[in-house]
Amino acid sequence: MDHFLYKNGQLMAEDVAIADIAAAVGTPFYVYSAATLTRHYRLFSEALDPLPHTVCFAIKSLSNLAVLKLLGDLGAGMDVVSGGEYMRAKAAGVPGERIVFSGVGKTRDEMRLALTGGVRQFNVESEPELLALSEVATALGAVAPITLRVNPDVDAKTHEKIATGKKENKFGIPISKARAVYAQAASLPGLQVVGIDVHIGSQLTDLAPFEAAFVKIAELTEQLRADGHTISRLDLGGGLGIPYTRSNEAPPLPLDYGALVKRTLGHLGCEIEIEPGRLISGNSGLLVSEVIYVKEGEDRTFLIVDAAMNDLVRPSMYGAHHDIVPVIEAAAGAPPQDYDVVGPVCETGDTFAKARALPPIGAGELLAFRSAGAYGAVMASEYNTRPLVPEVLVQGDHFAVIRARPTFEDILKRESIPAWL
Ligand SMILES: *Cc1c(COP(=O)(O)O)cnc(C)c1O
């Protein structure tokens, strides 16, 4: 459920008309709903009650400071995968003890940053990383709380680019080697084992792969405890999928996911950490764009819009589907027409939708790409020297620009021409 609904023929973000934001900010822009973000965070948190738990929002899905502040103030922890994301979490006021540091390639600088600023735990993904972290922590006279990310070798049955839990993926330590690597971790100075981490992929629309992974984690917990390790936290990663179309079958709800966690892991007495990204942010955001031209091709009609693949890369990168809706509601009974919705970038890949049935659309009209809150603005680039899209946050009847559109001057001044040219 989200808070982007029509009222009196106008698409709203909560109580603000999208068209009013467009008039104030210009297009394209991302808009997020605070009520939707809040609701999704709470759904997860409540689904895990009464287990002790921390919901660590995966910042990589949507990393704007205002969003992090909103979620942090609700009590969310943060899952970060880079020094930059760590700095964002801190800048949004999230204390170090609520920040987990994930990622397969943490650098020593990133480790130092988090150890100095405070961190809940590092989710360590390899033996070389274990050695590096031990060295860095020892040199700082610190103790790094760690879990090992284990790769349970389960098929997440999702898009191959975002499946992470098979043994051929680069992520984690093979579960078959886990006991040996835990023994090594326990023997190294500067490290304190606190639990186990697993994350098998993104946009999962079935609970079965989670169940397969959690059952393996329960077994591993018992084994590691028998080996003498303290396993007091289980970090279960993120990955629960969202509906990208309103017609397809609904993915499992956080409530079902919570019930599964309790059933498979609840008896272990561990604190549960989860790292949802997409499920919190995905349906909390829209990308709004204006139609520049309606171009009649030989056998199709193109809607050329002012957003492009650099603003929302998911369709060209993953073949992803986003529902597209007019901001001014179509007249009832208006006969739909098939359009190819494309951006202005000079690549055929800059296509948002092919033969998409939409009500009749004219130049100058506004379109909203739904489910664009996750992996949208964060993956935007300035390809074609198109300024990064601004971001807007709505709460109730007010809105604020939470990232401004850079001017061309802003873009150009980051570059310099050497004196010898
Ligand atoms: C990407 C990622 C997440 C979030 O995944 P979603 O599918 O957005 O929920 C959580 N944890 C880790 C380690 C990740 O890499």
- Quote the DSSP letter at residue 404: P
Which residue has its alpha carbon closest to ligand 1 atom 3? 238
Helix (H, G, I), strand (E, B) or coil at 333: coil
Element (H, E) at 289: strand 285-296
- Quote the DSSP letter at residue 266: G
Which residue of 37, 44, 79, 162 sits with most ligand 1 atoms within 8 Å of its CB, as the best mutation to test the pocket? 79
| Residue 367 CB-half CA count within 13 A | 31
Pocket around ligand 1: residues whose beta carbon is below 6 Å from it?
58, 60-61, 79, 102, 199, 202-203, 237-239, 275-279, 374
Name the CATH topology of 103-274.
TIM Barrel (3.20.20)
CA distance 380 to 311: 5
Helix, strand, coil shares of the chain as percentages rounded to 5? 35, 25, 40
Q: What is the pLDDT, as a whole number, of residue 248?
A: 62
Question: 219 C-alpha to center of ligand 1: Å?
Answer: 23
Which residue has its alpha carbon closest to ligand 1 atom 12? 237
CA distance 71 to 76: 6
CA distance 276 to 55: 7
Strand partners for 318: none
Question: 82 C-alpha to center of ligand 1: Å?
Answer: 13
- Do the bridges between strand 233-235 and strand 191-197 make them parallel or antiparallel, or are there none, so unpaired? parallel
User: Are domains 4-31+282-413 and 103-274 of this chain identical in fold?
Assistant: no
Q: What is the pLDDT, as a whole number, of residue 166?
A: 78
Integer CA distances (angstroms), 15 to 27, 29, 44, 394, 397, in order: 20, 18, 25, 8, 5
Q: What is the pLDDT along the chain (421 residues), one digit of tens a residue?
A: 789 999 999 999 999 999 999 999 999 999 999 999 999 999 999 999 999 999 999 999 999 999 999 999 999 999 999 999 999 999 999 999 999 999 999 999 999 999 999 999 999 999 999 999 999 999 999 999 999 999 999 988 888 877 787 777 888 999 999 999 999 999 999 999 999 999 999 999 999 999 999 999 999 999 999 999 999 999 999 999 998 987 666 889 999 999 999 999 999 999 999 999 999 999 999 999 999 999 999 999 999 999 999 999 999 999 999 999 999 999 888 899 999 999 999 988 999 999 999 999 999 999 999 999 999 999 999 999 999 999 999 999 999 999 999 999 999 999 999 999 9
Question: 108 C-alpha to center of ligand 1: Å?
Answer: 22
Q: 1, 332, 346, 417: which one is catalytic? A: 346
Which residue of 44, 59, 61 sits with most ligand 1 atoms within 8 Å of its CB, as the best mutation to test the pocket? 61
Which residue of 57, 59, 60, 80 sits with most ligand 1 atoms within 8 Å of its CB, as the best mutation to test the pocket? 60
Instruction: Please give the model's pTM, rounded to 2 decimal places.
Output: 0.96
276 Cα nearest atom in ligand 1:
9
281 Cα nearest atom in ligand 1:
8
All structural domains of the chain with their residue ranges? 4-31+282-413, 103-274
Q: 288 with 21: CB under 8 angstroms?
A: yes
Q: 167 with 174: CB under 8 angstroms?
A: yes
Place of tokens 């601004």: 390
Residue 270 a catalytic site member: no
Give the CATH number of domain 4-31+282-413: 2.40.37.10
**Interhelix angle 34-48/254-265, nearest 10 degrees:** 20
